[in-house]
Amino acid sequence: MNLRRFMSRSKKDADLAEEIDAHLVHEQDANTARGLSSEEARRQARLKFGNPRTTREQVWRYRSLPWIDTLWRDLRFVIRSLARTPGFTIIAIVVIAVGIGVTTAVFSVVNAVLLKPLPYPDSEALVELLNTGPRGSFPGANVPKFNIWHQQTSIFQQVAGYDQGGAGLNLTGGDHPQQVQGIHVTADYFAMFGAPVIAGRTFTAAEDSPHGGHVVVLSYGLWKSRFGGNPKIVGTTIPLDGQPYLVVGVIGRNFVTDPPGDLWLPYQFDLNSRDMAHYFTVAARLKPGITLQQANVQLKLAADQFRRTYSSATLGPDGGFGVMPLKELIVGDTRSSLLVLLGAVLLVLLIACANVANLLLARASARKRELATRAALGAGRGQIIRQLLTESLALSLTGGALGLVLGFVGVRMLLSVSANVLPRVGEHGSAVTLDPNILLFALGVSILTGILFGLVPAISASRHNLAASLNESGGRSGVAFRTGRLRGFLVVSEMALALVLVIGASLLIRTFLKLQAVDPGFDTHNLLTMTMSISGDRFQKTGGVAQVIRDGTDRLKAVPGVSNAAAGCCLPLQGGFGVPFDVVGRPKGKERSTGGAGYYSVSWSYFDTFKIPLLRGRGFTENDTGSAPGVVIINEAMAKRFWPKGDPLKDFLLTGVDMGPVFVEPPRQIIGIVGDTHDGSLSRDPRPTMYIPVAQMPDAETALNSRVAPLWWVIRTNMDPHTLVAPITAALRDASGGLPVAHIRTMDETRVRTTSRQRFNMLLLTIFGASGLLMAAIGVYGLMAYSVQQRTQELGIRMALGAQASNIRNMVIRQGMALALIGVVIGIGGAFWLTRFLASFLFGVKAWDPTAFILTPLLLSAVALIAIWIPAHRATRVDPMTALRLE
């Protein structure tokens, strides 16, 4: 009500003015009627009424809200005063915008990844089931474990197994077959995640049992893109891998999975299976009121039950089961790196604040007389502080709004060029959205920084001695001692904070360079890789897979520009399977196997195509088929680790020990040793690895593989591989009878992806370090330039008394560098203490890396010197006569 009155007061005032006029006219009429002359009548009327303005002001005041009025008045004053010094205003706003921009950028990622709940109903109750052991916990499940977990109905509402859409499926039919991501799930999956069903239904328990038939549930995306959103799709069949699948339902668009899937298929487990290999993961929804602790206690009992049911050989005495929140699993180790980035970005924000505080201090001393005049005219200290705070808040809010835009656009750009760095951010960072959290955060940070950098200058400015300031002849006395010291302190902190940032950035840069320098163990150039989904019936036996590989390799080699080609389960730098193995005849002691090693099934030309060197023995040939004697090649790391003295080339290996019937194999002879390649990550040492010819895989294992992972093709070219994509995919389609390929990329691209997380961290910290350094340099420059300007007269006198230009310059440089060096020393101390938080992100450099700790301070000092040199040089140009006449 008051507000409405307030808003309409201008209109009302005009109305009142008119009303008063009317009153005067009536009074005048009355006076005329009494016989007065018209002139006198008007005079008397006005006299009687008094000043109409006073009346109007009275009504106006009564209609106004005092605080809005005051704010508006202050704001208009602030805008006028800021507009008078556009240089200052622009620099301040830009500095704040950068500070708040980078902070908002990092926060928006933290918000999307760490803060937002998973996009499922009651997602806090969703947990991942883990295998626990002395060496940590990891997800992964097999049918026996799934059975036991599924029985824990006292703690779990639903338990569902699913895979990561590994193998891919071929959606055949139509003109262009398409490889799609099919996620295998157990029947409870949809209920557990609360997936919205927009058409049809999800799988029944009967459909999720062996021989449950070919049924499929479509995702919204695939339903729209491939089937045009056909409302009658449910009940029809679609061809997958050449087989008709009955569509039973469609899931709504809001249902997001990580990684994304195009369709879902029932797992159709044989629940009597005793396979011990982990090839899917299991999540569960806790019953209402069940805590993680209660669940973990119950799962301890479940582990005992597991040992009783499936023999204790399959789960060691140290092993057990546990749960962790699903969100924690998805977020994984990005949490710590995001928190480090958030910490770093707060340092940037602090530097920005110190910088603007410094600018405001300088501005306040330049405005000393203005403020003193205002005080003399009756402005209270509170009013002056309020006005100065309004000014800094106006700056910080403007800068904050700009920063919000900058930061948001920046983070989306950054995420779009750094794929696969972070979970939960969606494709090209599309899940990083502008939500109320971020707006509130930006607003909060803006207000906080406005107060932070505004309060100290405001208090210090309002403390000046009135008489002294008014009597002072403009600009003579120089920097008041107190503000001078305060500004020096701010510059020192800026330098120190900037140094910490730049040292952090240089450590990450060195880490990245070291990673780049790691030899992956093969030639990454001119290698094209792609996946072929081999999930159809043809590929349930090894012979079918071997045939496709033979035909494909022949066709590919015939493509002009292709020099070699191979296929395998897995690629270097991407990681593969691992299994336990025994060396035949070697005593195991108490262990269940001789050891564990990577398990790569590859075609005969794999090593030649990758140019992985053969160190000893022989490589695979086309003749190492299922009918030939079993052979295996190991890598150097495996030879060194398990045959530190002996010769592996005589020994036989038994792979897949204790993993259930699928993995039972005859012993294989070690026929060769190849060079190490990095799998998974360049920062880890190559792990021991065994290579087995694809053609010699047991059928059961091939069948399992075909469900778990696609077949990778790798093609060595002697020109830019991108130019050969079309003929290569055509050759493979011909050779395989129409199978499409997907995930086409070069090995160089894969290599870039393996270090993308490090590159992302490095890029961000380098941006932070550079902006921190720039702001600190501006800070030092600003302080020295200001002090030189204030001391023009003193410098003039010194020169008049015979000081040389070099004396003057050195004096200014000495004073400026003293501040910079104090900052550098404090910064080194701070960095020693803070870089420990970076330790886990480093590779090949120590957290106290001498190079970083020596070069960075030198760099910073050099930048400071340049920033100081300019005003120092200007100081020498002071003309004594002008300076003295300046009065």
Partner 1 sequence: MTKKPPVAGEILQGTLDMLILRTLRMGPAHGHTIAQVIEHTSENALEVEQGSLYPALHRLEDRGLLAAEWGVSDNNRRAKFYRLTAKGRKELVAVTSRWQQMTRAIGLILGESESENK
Which residue lies nearer to partner 1 by CB, 55 or 861?
A: 55
Q: Of the listed pieces 26-34, 197-205, 298-306, 670-678, which binds partner 1 according to CB under 8 A?
A: 26-34
Rule CB under 8 A: choose which of 26, 476, 485, 722 binds partner 1. 26
Interaction mask 57-96, partner 1, x per CB under 8 A:
-xx--xx---------------------------------
Does residue 49 touch partner 1 according to CB under 8 A? yes
Q: Of the listed pieces 53-61, 103-111, 179-187, 814-822, which binds partner 1 according to CB under 8 A?
A: 53-61
Does residue 12 touch partner 1 according to CB under 8 A? yes
Which residue lies nearer to partner 1 by CB, 23 or 641?
A: 23
Does residue 23 touch partner 1 according to CB under 8 A? yes
Among 513, 507, 515, residue whose Cα is nearest residue 851 = 507
Does residue 50 touch partner 1 according to CB under 8 A? yes
- Residues 193, 184: contact at Cβ < 8 Å? no
- Ramachandran assignment for 214, one of left (phi > 0), alpha (psi -120 to 50 degrees), beta (any other): beta
Which residue lies nearer to partner 1 by CB, 26 or 253?
A: 26
* φ, ψ (nearest 5 deg) of residue 175: -75, -40
Amino acid identity, position 706: S
Q: Of the listed pieces 44-52, 206-214, 510-518, 802-810, which binds partner 1 according to CB under 8 A?
A: 44-52
Q: DSSP letter at 835?
A: G
Q: Of the listed pieces 9-17, 446-454, 530-538, 561-569, which binds partner 1 according to CB under 8 A?
A: 9-17
Which residue lies nearer to partner 1 by CB, 16 or 785?
A: 16
Which residue lies nearer to partner 1 by CB, 51 or 627?
A: 51
Which residue lies nearer to partner 1 by CB, 69 or 124?
A: 69
Structure tokens at 353: 């604040």
Rule CB under 8 A: choose which of 36, 43, 55, 563 binds partner 1. 55
Which residue lies nearer to partner 1 by CB, 54 or 840?
A: 54
Among 750, 747, 769, 737, residue whose Cα is nearest residue 835 = 769
Does residue 865 touch partner 1 according to CB under 8 A? no
CB of 39 to partner 1, least distance (A): 19
Does residue 51 touch partner 1 according to CB under 8 A? yes
Which residue lies nearer to partner 1 by CB, 61 or 463?
A: 61
Please state, in angstroms and rounded to a whole number, the distance separating the CA atoms of residues 623 and 620: 8
Rule CB under 8 A: choose which of 54, 204, 291, 471 binds partner 1. 54
Does residue 48 touch partner 1 according to CB under 8 A? yes
CB of 22 to partner 1, least distance (A): 5
Rule CB under 8 A: choose which of 6, 29, 463, 474 binds partner 1. 29
Within 10 angstroms of residue 879's Cβ, the number of other Cβ atoms is: 11
Task: Tell whether omega for the bond before 259 is within 30 degrees of 0, i.e. cis.
Answer: yes
Please state, in angstroms and rounded to a whole number, the distance separating the CA atoms of residues 600 and 659: 16
Q: Of the listed pieces 54-62, 198-206, 306-314, 679-687, which binds partner 1 according to CB under 8 A?
A: 54-62
Does residue 5 touch partner 1 according to CB under 8 A? yes
Does residue 15 touch partner 1 according to CB under 8 A? yes
CB of 71 to partner 1, least distance (A): 23
Which residue lies nearer to partner 1 by CB, 29 or 879?
A: 29
Amino acid identity, position 198: I
Find the angle CA(60)-CA(66)-CA(70) to the nearest 5 degrees. 110
Classify 802 as helix, strand or coil. coil
Residues 169-188 that bind partner 1 (CB under 8 A): none
In 126-249, which ranges are continuous DSSP H helix? 143-150, 189-193, 220-227
Interaction mask 382-401, partner 1, x per CB under 8 A:
--------------------
Within 10 angstroms of residue 598's Cβ, the number of other Cβ atoms is: 24
Which residue lies nearer to partner 1 by CB, 26 or 836?
A: 26
Rule CB under 8 A: choose which of 7, 14, 25, 79 binds partner 1. 25
Classify 161 as helix, strand or coil. strand
CB of 792 to partner 1, least distance (A): 57
CB of 38 to partner 1, least distance (A): 14
Structure tokens at 814: 């000495």
Length of the chain: 887
- Residues 6, 65: contact at Cβ < 8 Å? yes
Half-sphere exposure of 657 (CA within 13 A, CB side): 17
Please state, in angstroms and rounded to a whole number, the distance separating the CA atoms of residues 302 and 296: 9
Please state, in angstroms and rounded to a whole number, the distance separating the CA atoms of residues 522 and 539: 30
CB of 55 to partner 1, least distance (A): 5
Which residues are 532's β-sheet partners? 711, 741
CB of 767 to partner 1, least distance (A): 56
Q: Of the listed pieces 56-64, 212-220, 633-641, 694-702, which binds partner 1 according to CB under 8 A?
A: 56-64
Please state, in angstroms and rounded to a whole number, the distance separating the CA atoms of residues 388 and 21: 42
In 480-628, which ranges are continuous DSSP H helix? 481-517, 542-558, 606-610
CB of 73 to partner 1, least distance (A): 22
Separation of CA 541 from chain center: 43
Buried b vs exposed e over 304-313: b needs ≥16 C-beta within 10 Å?
ebbbeebeee
Question: With CB under 8 A, what is the number of residues at the site for partner 1?
Answer: 24
Classify 582 as helix, strand or coil. strand
**Residue indicated by tokens 């020596």:** 854
Does residue 34 touch partner 1 according to CB under 8 A? no
CB of 340 to partner 1, least distance (A): 59
Please state, in angstroms and rounded to a whole number, the distance separating the CA atoms of residues 312 and 276: 12
Please state, in angstroms and rounded to a whole number, the distance separating the CA atoms of residues 493 and 827: 8
Rule CB under 8 A: choose which of 16, 505, 565, 773 binds partner 1. 16
Which residues of the shown chain bind partner 1 in the complex (CB under 8 A)?
Answer: 5, 12, 15-16, 18-20, 22-23, 25-27, 29-30, 48-51, 54-55, 58-59, 62-63
